[in-house]
Amino acid sequence: MQQSAVPELAHTHTSPLQWVATATAIAGVVALSSVLQPDPARAAQPATGAKSAAASVAAPDPTGVDFPITCGPAKALVTKKASGDLDGDGRPETVAVVRCDAGSGTPPSGVYVLTQGEDAKKPRVVATLIDPKERLSVTDFAVRDGVVTATLLGYSSADVPSCCPDVKDEAKWQWKNGAFVRSTPSGAQSV
């Protein structure tokens, strides 16, 4: 009979006592790791002072706001809204697209910026981006990274029926030097 080159090793056969010892050692490591935790990350800590208090303020709610739009017997209807910090003060503003709740045609939209002071009970309109007198309707609309963008539908002349806007434009507003500045986003074209 030929013997193998490597003798049989006794420690390769496990016993129940070895399994219990291994399980106990693993349980000890897990228990110790739950006690020894690293310091919390500093980068994700909230700012202190006025900025952190401002960041916890809710965005203004456009419900019940008196918008500068004349609707006659119809009511003003908020069709779209989005919020974000537009002026960099750490407090969110809300941008609302509002039109008259008319039964037919394409009623023009107004686009308004709302803010709410720390002690104010009700939000107030602080800027008009689109006045309904411009006869524009807003389709796509967003607030991202302090920028308001919208797709605007309008009319090439007064002869075009209000049901059928024939001009499409892209617009973008950004707070600069104390006012909202309108521009056309790159790549946008009028139709």
Regarding predicted confidence, which is higher, 28 or 46? 28
47 pLDDT above the threshold of 50: no
Residues contacting residue 104 through CB under 8 Å, at least 6 positions apart: 163
Rounded to whole angstroms, the Cα distance separating 155 from 94 reads 28
Regarding predicted confidence, which is higher, 166 or 51? 166
78 pLDDT above the threshold of 90: yes
* Domain residue ranges in the chain: 59-183
Q: At 34, is the secondary structure helix, strand, or coil? A: helix
Q: What is the pTM of this model?
A: 0.67
pLDDT digits (tens, 9 = 90+) for 136-146: 999 999 999 99
Task: Calculate mean pLDDT across residues 104-125.
Answer: 86
191 pLDDT above the threshold of 80: no
Task: Calculate mean pLDDT across residues 104-131.
Answer: 88
User: Cβ(76)–Cβ(98) under 8 Å?
Assistant: yes
pLDDT digits (tens, 9 = 90+) for 84-113: 999 999 899 999 999 999 877 778 999 999
User: Which residue's entry shows tokens 């946008």?
Assistant: 188
pLDDT for res 58: 87
Strands of the 93-100 sheet, one edge to the other: 76-84, 93-100, 109-115, 124-130
Regarding predicted confidence, which is higher, 11 or 111? 111
